[in-house]
Amino acid sequence: MEFSKEEVEHIASLARLSLSEEEKELFGSQLSSILRYMEKLNKLDTRGIEPTSHVLSLSNVMRDDIPGPSLPKEEALMNAPDHTDKFYRVPKIIE
Amino acid sequence: MLNFNNKSKVFIEFETENQQLNHDNSTEENRLKLYSLTISEVRDLLERKEVSVKDVVTSIYERIDAVEDRVTAFVTITKDEALKIADRVQEKITSENIKSTTSLLGIPLAIKDNMCTKGIRTTCSSKILSNFIPPYESTVTSRLIEQGYVLVGKTNLDEFAMGSSTENSGFHITKNPWDLESIPGGSSGGSAAAVAADECIAALGSDTGGSIRQPAALCGVVGLKPTYGRVSRYGLVAFASSLDQIGPITKNVQDSAILMNIISGHDPLDSTSAPLPVPDFTAVLGQDMKGIKIGIPKEYFIEGMDREVGISVRDSIKKLDSLGAIPVEVSLPRTGYAVATYYVLATSEASSNLARYDGVKYGFRAEGKDLMDTYLNTRAQGFGAEVKRRIMLGTYALSSGYYEAYYKKAQQVRTLIKRDFEEAFKAVDVIVTPTSPTAAFKVGEKTADPLQMYLSDIFTISVNLAGVPGISIPCGFTSHNLPIGLQIIGNHFDEESILKVAYAYEQSTDWHKRRPNL
């Protein structure tokens, strides 16, 4: 697997990362060598093997649907780079 | 002996002082070396009222003043707050005459800076969280607070716990107290170095692929990664949610068991925490080793492992044999696939978990001309190189057309790796391996080649993939006086067996008593 510059740019845009030209080049070659290493997984026959997403056999852990205390608005907003008294504020999306 | 046993030094000096001076005057000398003690030793002195909490806390900060500029283990030091807590706790001890054997009253601990501490900056050693003040407390630290602990400070890590050397911190590197030109391991390098340098009595770390055990090994201290689900992850900043676990980094095995008793157990705030009862982990310490079967996986004694590490680990197995354990060769045939599996799964989970850092709700924001531009700039400027690399790798593995080939394939191999352990634990009680293929390496030695850095986790990663518990304990030193770690792996929710074996080994050796000359 060799990453072209276009592929690096495609992945970066999916990940919402803007990369410098140097980063594109560096990551392209590093990711290629890491992925070549990962291709060793193809040597293993995994036909019919269930994938493991989680080691515990817990599923659908529910709590009772009773309202409890939650984070006060001021505290929820206190770490935001920009906010009003009720909302997070972001740059304009629609003209 | 290459190094003087610091702990016995404390008591030797006590006695000399006591002979020379009136008994009451020994308190001053007593206070000065308190930083070198363990949880149980400090607790005994506090219970006997020989020292005050303030003595202990002051001693820790004096030690930090003396060594921290060389070790740089901390991101944030919370001295003022700690001294206030010390006064409050002292009052509690004096007024209520508390003598609980499980409490941490007045014990100064350091916390890895990826666990949320309410009102105290929690950065993950990332620029993107450099100004983040959590409005809530993580479950583990809540439990420590209930027991009266004193927070010393928040320790350095590889940014978002991604790394094996703490060189990926967005702020500064941390040095290995045994050799200031070497790395302390990672990602909990700050916690391990702080414990080894006596800048705290003990610490908490987190372990996704070896991030507690490997730095513990490289710094000559004890690090335990519990079974997945044993300890709540609520308030632990997520890296790879199916692999992350919090655990103790301590000066000895007894302290590890003491902290496990406090931090373990079901938490309704973490839906992946296991609803199982928690045993008293200290109860197994000192139990007979006779008949315990220890598995030696042949795949872990490989080429590329440092010769001195191999010798120390083989000697440790002989020692366990002499203590009554029965060594049995076992096979974990899919070991060679663990690193590849891990770096597909961990980066995929990370790319998803780290999508939340968008410069809107918390953390750093770099303004852009529109919202998309703000996202792109915020993440470009806020994340360091390794974090970006892993987000890229994970995004690729999850992307359309590659999901089956990478992510699903790795999940299937994970099943096989888990089965390897299940099969091995049918025949043995614990598995013993080296923790890391080498002792601490030099600062800068592996930073240019990410894959070489990933391979330094080769012996710890399978344990996270299988979800089983593992502990690293000191088992020797190289000819350059660098610590070597022995890893003891247990079956799911059987931390008791690894603590029992670790304690028996530790008590028959004195590696854990050595301290670096700082």
Give the CATH fold of the A5-42 domain: Histone, subunit A (1.10.20)
Closest CA to B157 of B201, B126, B129: B126
Nearest chain B Cα to A53, which residue?
Answer: B411
Collect contacts of A10-15 with beta carbons under 8 A, ≥24 apart. A11/B392, A11/B395, A11/B396, A11/B399, A12/B392, A14/B395, A14/B399, A15/B351, A15/B379, A15/B391, A15/B392, A15/B395
Q: What is the pLDDT along chain B (518 residues), one digit of tens a residue?
A: 333 333 333 333 333 333 333 344 445 555 559 999 999 999 999 988 899 999 999 999 999 999 999 999 999 999 999 999 999 999 888 877 666 556 899 999 999 999 999 999 999 999 999 999 999 999 999 999 999 999 999 999 999 999 999 999 999 999 999 999 999 999 999 999 999 999 999 999 999 999 999 999 999 999 999 999 999 999 999 999 999 999 999 999 999 999 999 999 999 999 999 999 999 999 999 999 999 999 999 999 877 789 999 999 999 999 999 999 999 999 999 999 999 999 999 999 999 999 999 999 999 999 999 999 999 999 999 999 999 999 999 999 999 899 999 999 999 999 999 999 999 999 999 999 999 999 999 999 999 888 888 888 999 999 999 999 999 999 999 999 999 999 999 999 999 999 999 999 999 999 999 999 99
In a domain, B410, yes or no: no
What distance in Å separates residue B238's CA from the closest CA in chain A?
Answer: 15
Distance CA B134, CA B362 (A): 10
Residue B206 contacts residue B188 (beta carbons within 8 Å)? yes
The parent domain of residue B272 ranges over: 10-278
CATH number (domain holding residue B19): 3.90.1300.10
Q: Could you say which of B7, B33, B112, B127 is catalytic? A: B112
Active site residue B331: no
Residue type, B409: K
In a domain, B362, yes or no: no
- Residue B311: how many CB atoms within 10 A of its CB? 13
Strands (E), B213-260: 222-225, 245-250
Q: Could you report the predicted ipTM of this complex, rounded to two decimals?
A: 0.95
Active site residue B271: no
Give domain limits for chain A: 5-42
Nearest chain B Cα to A77, which residue?
Answer: B361
Distance CA B284, CA B256 (A): 12
Nearest chain B Cα to A75, which residue?
Answer: B135
Q: Do residue B229 and residue A58 have CB atoms under 8 angstroms apart?
A: yes
In a domain, B510, yes or no: no
In a domain, B346, yes or no: no
Our CA angle for B18, B20, B21, nearest 5°, is 65
What distance in Å separates residue B400's CA from the closest CA in chain A?
Answer: 11
Work out how many domains chain B is built from and give that number. 1
